[in-house]
Every structure is written in structure tokens, then in C-alpha cells.
Amino acid sequence: MKKLAASLLIGLCAFGAMAQLAKAQSGPLRIEITDGVIEPLPYAVPDLVAETPGSNQIAKDMARVIAADLNGTGLFREIPAKAHISTITHFGSPVQFADWKAINAQALITGGVSVSGNELEVKFRVFDVFAGQELGNGLRFKGTTDGWRRMAHKVADAVYSRITGEGGYFDSRVVFVSETGPKNDRKKRLAIMDYDGANLQYLTDSSSIVLAPRFSPTGDRVLYTSYETGFPQVYVLNVGSAQRRVLSNQSGTMSFAPRFSPDGKSVVMSVTEGGNTDLYKMAIGGGKRVRLTSTPSIETAPSFSPDGSQIVFESDRSGSPQLYIMSANGGEAKRISFGQGRYGTPVWSPRGDLIAFTKQNKGRFHIGVMRTDGSDERLLTASFLDEGPTWAPNGRVIMFTRETRGSDGVSALYSVDVSGRNLKRVEVTGGGSDPAWSPLQ
């Protein structure tokens, strides 16, 4: 396992030297995604073995989803089936490591699938080919046939974690604003999908504008802003039943940009009252709002730190939108953004080490990250309009909205890893904006 994980760090030194380094160090090596060039690790994932009648197609489809998950990270490169010398016909058969070495596969994933009625069982193993040994113990997942994609994501998460030492993110979902129609008459509704765009479902209709959906820490509820009354108001929606309610609807106020606390018991949001916009916190079950800021400026886009002790937010109190951090109970705020341009939509990483943000400077928009004290700012993207970052559950990938220029411009979802590598469009039917990543399911 050490040699296999070490080979992912080829951007830092030669493979041979890394293999020796891996042998010398104790404990598992963990890939650290940096600005260096990372050579994808070659691996093989033959079709999973169909162990019962009627499981052939699911066995093939699961292998393809596992491969798509791993390939999509930019850290892995699949060796195509036509290059394979050996075939895997039984899950428990000995692995012919020499055949996989011959095609330079450094990792091998094997699995078996059985179906009984609507019940599905998948088991898998991961091998370090050059070491000639299994990485960890085999695992087994049970579920239903209609949940086969999720089980494939779980397998890919386990493989990813064993080889990189990082948590996975494939068994997760994204809630976002689905967009259809021309730019001057765009219809928007809330939608939810697997992280890779599969299993798309709509949560609201397009009768009113909806914005900024945000998952609860358990992934079963979503906060969002709706204009169905003519003014922005925050709603909370149950993902399973699609039932919803207004969170706060006090006369003469507008509420927007909500976000759950890490424990899911409270919500922080912007409230406009008497022409002034400040941050407020309230219990998810309702009750009195607690005011956290009190300035003549606009305070918005709050995001809790993972431990719930602090909030990062956007404010124009200095004359232009910048990023500030304060206690989750309010009080004095400290500015953390000092580069050129305007900053907004900050989101704290689930790892607690970075804050992602949108930056506008010299006519271009960027997605960037910085340390929580404002140091080490790095811009990951640049385009006509990039905005609204959201973190994958493992804090290593960011999804965001990219809009193209012009009257016929469209919004789409993109992702990029934390080093600025592997920028790609997320395959979604129609347009999309305002993504929010769920925790692992």
C-alpha cells in the first residue's frame, strides 16, 4: 500500500526514489494535492464477476461507475480492458500479478455481484500489483438493485481512501438551481442529483425564483431562498417528502443567504429590515432571531466553521465587498481578505483549513481559496463569471457556477480540485447554478 500511495506523488520526485521513500517511512502515506504535477496512477478494474443469473448487466455497470469515479479525480488512469492479459472469472481466484505488472497496472480492483429478487450484494478487493498483496481486507455491501449506483460509489470511495489516505466523496449528492429557457426569461427550480449528475430529481416547480440551496449536516433538509411572495424569504424543505415551510416571515423584512450550523440546530442568514442588511441566527424550529451584526453595511453569505465556533461572511463595511470572520455569537469581526478586487460567497472547508470564495478583479471572476487567517490566497479558476463555490465532503474538490458571456449565455456547474487542477464541467441536463454539496450519505 505504501508503494502504491507513494507513486501518486510523482510530481515531487522520481518513482524509484518514491518507492524507496515509501519503504522507509512508517504508517500509511497520504497523497497531498498540491500545485505540483501529479501523474495519474494506472489501475485496472475488470467487469465485476456476475455470481448469480441476472446480475451480468449490473456487474458491468458497477465497474464502469467505479472507473468513472476514480478517473474523474484526475489522480487515476484506467488501463482499458482490451489491454488486459488476465481475466477475472471468479472472485476468490488467485491474482496473476505478473500479468497485471506486464501492462503496468499498479492497482487492481476485483469484485463479485449477486442478485436475489431486488436484493443486491457486492463484494470487492483492492490489490497493490507490484507489491503482490491485497490492500486491507475485502469489503461487502448489501442493498437493493435500484441502489446499485450508490453501492458502486461506495466501492469507489473505499478504493480512493485506501490508495490516497483521504476520505472519499463519490457517495454524495448535490442540490442546485436547475435553469431552463432564454437568459431574459429563465425558469429556475430546485433540483437534486448524485455528485456526477445521475439520478436527477426536481424538488420545486419553476413558478417562482429560487436561490442558494444549502444542505443540512445530515443531508435530509435543504434551506433555500424563494421569491414566491414577491420578496426573498428563507424556506426549509424536507428532501424525502418535498414538504416545506417558511423559516422566518416577519412583516417588513426580507431574508436570504441561509446556512445550517454544523449541528443542524440553528440557521444563520441575512435579514434586511428598515433598509439595512445584517446577519441573524435562529433555531431551525423557529423562535426569536438573534442579531449578530449591527452596521450600516450589507452583511451576507455567512458560513460556519466546521466546529461551529466562528462564521465567515461577506461585508462591504470597508467600502467594497470583503471577507470577515467573527464569533458564531456575533461580536467584533476581523477582515481576512486584502488582495485587489472584490470578494464574496465565502465557504469554510469541511476540513477547517481553507475558505473558498468568489473574487472579481479587472473584469474577471475567479474561484479561490485562502487560509482562515487570509494568508496563502490562491486563485483556482478565471472566466467571464465564476461564482458560488461549494466543498466536496472531503475538502479536496470544489464545485461552482460558470456562466458564459452574452444575451444567450448559459449557466453550468463545474468542479476543480483544491490545487487548481482537473477543471471540468459537471454533466447536468440543462443549465445549473448555486450548487451545494451534501455530506457523505
**pLDDT given for residue 409 in this prediction:** 85
**pLDDT given for residue 115 in this prediction:** 97
Pairwise CA distance, residues 195 & 192, whole Å? 9
**pLDDT given for residue 286 in this prediction:** 82
Instruction: Provide DSSP, 381-428.
Output: --BS-EEEEEE-TTSSEEEEEEE-SSTT--EEEEEEETTS---EE---
**pLDDT given for residue 37 in this prediction:** 55
Of 296, 313, 297, 315, the C-alpha closest to 305 is 313
Pairwise CA distance, residues 392 & 251, whole Å? 37
Contact 19, 3 (CB under 8 A): yes
Report, as ranges of residue numbers, the positions in the chain whose pLDDT lies below 70: 1-37
Q: Domains in the chain, ordered, with CATH?
A: 11-164 (3.40.50.10070), 174-437 (2.120.10.30)
For the segment 330-354, what is each residue's pLDDT rounded down to a tens digit? 999 999 999 999 999 999 999 999 9
pTM of the prediction? 0.90
